[in-house]
Amino acid sequence: MKTNAGRFFEDYRVGQVIDHAVPRTISGGERALYHALYPARGALYSSDAFARACGLAASPVDDLVAFHVVFGKTVPDISINAVANLGYAEGRWRKPVWPGDTLRARSEVIGVKENSNGTSGVVWVRSQGIDQTGETVMDYVRWVMVRKRDAASPAPEPVVPQLAPAVAAADLAIPAGLDFTGYDFTLAGEPHRWGDYAVGEVIDHVDGVTIEEAEHMLATRLWQNTAKVHFDATFREDGKRLIYGGHVISMARALSFNGLANAQMIVALNGGAHANPCFAGDTVKAWSEVLDKAPTAAPGVGAIRLRLVAVKAGAGDPLTLKEGGKYAPHVLLDLDYWALMPL
């Protein structure tokens, strides 16, 4: 049997390190596709000239590209037999990715806990993207529920990692050279500075995008994410293709430009839930809430912690996140991240 059936719950043990396959060189092609797939307009990620005026060598690719590439590479080893993607924590972007960089991915198993039903368990991994120089460009913890190969196999000693509820502001990695003191708010698209946002403030991003099968498949393949459920209409009983959760993340993040145009760089992923599945035909809208703010050591640069919520348009009150303790059916995404803004 030469095809990869993937790992089952009993194949993971704490401390195990998995080097994921298929390294990837990023080019301007990936950036152009990112802009075609999402309404991304962050000036720092669109213009070399703007990025240089902010102290970077050139315009990097959108921060979520690194996340998607790493995530995609982990799929065959981590989530091919997953029942559910349960959460994210402690994600940090450590350096930007530019066209020409080559990324590979590695995961370490940091927790395992069998479910009481004996047929599945939860696996925690810390995954990292590594560039051609051997440096980590980003890392994050993800935990997934994975089927057991054999219900009769014994449960491992449970290890549940202690995860930070959010990355501490002091731990945020600021890209080398970043300087927002000469930031051009006109070219960036909005006048709102870090000081203009108040904790607790909610921003309705107004715009919406109706999703097509061709688009989410193009995106998901671009990140070499091969989970069958995204591509094969014969795979699920209902004939639907489940949209990769990361597609919704990038769509919501791009929509958040309208009101958060200056929340330029994502530097941490504190947590996130794919509240409900998304399917082609859904219209995605988004709103954000300011959760926290912190200064940074970089000139002119402040950090802002944001909750980003994606909802299906026309399917319920956008601001109602939960009903009876559970996510309401129209909620697609509830994400918590840190971004960098000009002071």
Residues 296-325 that bind its own copies (CB under 8 A): 313-314
Binding track over 61-100 against its own copies, x by CB under 8 A: ---------------x----------------------x-
Q: What is residue 280's three-state secondary structure?
A: coil
- DSSP string over 220-245: HHHTT---GGGT-TTTSTT-PPPPPH
Binding track over 24-43 against its own copies, x by CB under 8 A: xx-xxxxxxx-xxxxx-xxx
C-beta closer to its own copies: residue 92 or 192: 192
Q: Is 179 in the site for its own copies (CB under 8 A)?
A: no
Look-up of token digits 């993971």: 12
DSSP 306: E
C-beta closer to its own copies: residue 149 or 273: 149
11, 16, 47, 153: which one binds its own copies (CB under 8 A): 47
Of 102-141, binders to its own copies (CB under 8 A) are 102, 104, 132
Q: Is 237 in the site for its own copies (CB under 8 A)?
A: no
Going by C-alpha positions, the residue among 104, 151, 133 that lies closest to residue 8 is 151
Q: Is 279 in the site for its own copies (CB under 8 A)?
A: no
C-beta closer to its own copies: residue 68 or 126: 68
Closest separation in Å from C-beta 26 to its own copies: 9
CA distances from 77 to 12, 21, 28, 41 (A): 10, 9, 28, 33
17, 21, 57, 168: which one binds its own copies (CB under 8 A): 21
Closest separation in Å from C-beta 86 to its own copies: 24
Quick one: which H or E segment has residue 312? Answer: strand 301-312
Interatomic CA distance for residues 236 and 102, integer angstroms: 34
Interatomic CA distance for residues 309 and 331, integer angstroms: 8
C-beta closer to its own copies: residue 92 or 262: 262
Interatomic CA distance for residues 291 and 334, integer angstroms: 13
Interatomic CA distance for residues 256 and 47, integer angstroms: 19
C-beta closer to its own copies: residue 30 or 114: 30
